[in-house]
């Protein structure tokens, strides 16, 4: 019989047996989600002096090499080190892993040739709620998001005023189902990254941005506890697996 594990805080009860994974799997194929003009990730047996790391080819173990870019190939969490000259590691900056979060669904609005998420939309979706993390699902929300090839497609993005609003509202962890919070081709301005991390003042070194999530349509908008875990890479960004937990009244 499976044990039911629940955590009770002062205000909430969470059932840890019922996590809702909002990450994308990483596959070594052309069908893996992709952005930023790089080749597909590669997962293949290591070869060396006649050794091929695959049981089906005679080895005693499967022993694969994996080549990928965390920013281009799936769900990843990044710190301000993504755009600082000084090295900054997500593994060093993210030291808390559970956050009260809000899942919101937004239909990006058309401005010129772009589809964008604005401050006004975020204000409407969040109202007076104060959350440590905000999870943004954009619509349409089809399952082909996990295999989209985004390079040269000008995907939707977050306007600078929206990023500033989230920062000023005290949101420390922003999760979104797009390749970036910024416009694909913006001449390197990265205005929404800079606004969220407060590059105009004291940089919010403990704040994170997670991109390339996938929030299934079966997950309703509302409040959840978020478990945000990253692979312990000493890098500005790392593959991550955000998991939501329903809050029991």
Strands 98-106 and 133-138: parallel
Structurally, how many domains does the chain consist of? 1
Strands 64-67 and 76-78: unpaired
Question: What gap in Å lies between CA 37 and CA 105, rounded to an integer?
Answer: 28
CB atoms within 10 A of CB 228: 21
Alpha helices in 170-237 (DSSP H): 191-196
Q: Report the pLDDT value the prediction gives residue 224, as an integer from 0 to 100.
A: 97
> In this structure, what CATH number is given to the domain that contains residue 101?
3.50.30.50
Mean pLDDT by runs of 10 across the 249 residues of the chain is 62 89 97 98 96 97 98 98 98 97 98 98 97 98 97 98 98 98 98 98 98 98 97 98 92
Contact criterion met (CB below 8 Å) for 12 and 101: no
Question: What gap in Å lies between CA 91 and CA 233, rounded to an integer?
Answer: 6
SS3 94: coil
Question: What gap in Å lies between CA 248 and CA 221, rounded to an integer?
Answer: 15
42 in any annotated domain = no
44 in any annotated domain = no
Q: Report the pLDDT value the prediction gives residue 103, as an integer from 0 to 100.
A: 98
Exposure string for 145-166, b = 16+ CB within 10 A, e = fewer: bbebebeeeebbbbbbebbbbb
53 in any annotated domain = no
171 in any annotated domain = yes
35 in any annotated domain = no
Backbone region of residue 197 per phi and psi (left: phi > 0; alpha: psi in -120 to 50; beta: other values): alpha
57 in any annotated domain = no
Q: Report the pLDDT value the prediction gives residue 71, as an integer from 0 to 100.
A: 98
187 in any annotated domain = yes
Q: Report the pLDDT value the prediction gives residue 10, as an integer from 0 to 100.
A: 63
54 in any annotated domain = no
Q: Which domain holds residue 100?
A: 6-24+73-248
Contact criterion met (CB below 8 Å) for 33 and 68: no
Q: Spell out the residues 6+ positions from residue 142 whose beta carbon is closer than 8 angstroms to its own.
A: none
């Amino acid at each position: 019989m499976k044990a039911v594990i629940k955590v009770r805080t002062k205000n909430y009860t969470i059932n840890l047996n019922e996590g809702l994974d909002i990450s994308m799997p990483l596959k070594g194929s052309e069908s893996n989600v992709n952005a930023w003009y790089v080749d597909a990730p590669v997962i293949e047996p290591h070869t060396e002096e006649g050794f091929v790391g695959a049981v089906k080819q005679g080895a005693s173990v499967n022993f694969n090499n994996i080549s990928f870019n965390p920013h281009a190939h799936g769900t990843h969490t990044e710190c301000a080190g993504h755009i600082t000259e000084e090295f900054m590691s997500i593994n060093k900056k993210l030291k808390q892993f559970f956050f009260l979060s809000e899942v919101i669904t937004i239909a990006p609005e058309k401005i010129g040739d772009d589809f964008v998420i604005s401050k006004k939309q975020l204000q409407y979706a969040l109202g007076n709620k104060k959350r440590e993390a905000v999870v943004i699902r954009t619509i349409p929300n089809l399952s082909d998001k996990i295999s989209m090839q985004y390079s040269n497609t000008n995907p939707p993005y977050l306007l600078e005023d929206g990023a500033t609003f989230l920062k000023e509202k005290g949101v420390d962890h922003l999760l979104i189902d797009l390749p970036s919070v910024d416009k694909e081709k913006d001449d390197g301005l990265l205005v929404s990254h800079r606004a969220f991390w407060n590059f105009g003042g004291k940089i919010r070194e403990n704040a994170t941005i997670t991109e390339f999530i996938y929030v299934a349509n079966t997950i309703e908008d509302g409040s959840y506890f978020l478990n945000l875990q990253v692979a312990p890479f000493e890098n500005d960004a790392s593959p991550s697996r955000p998991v939501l937990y329903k809050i029991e009244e």
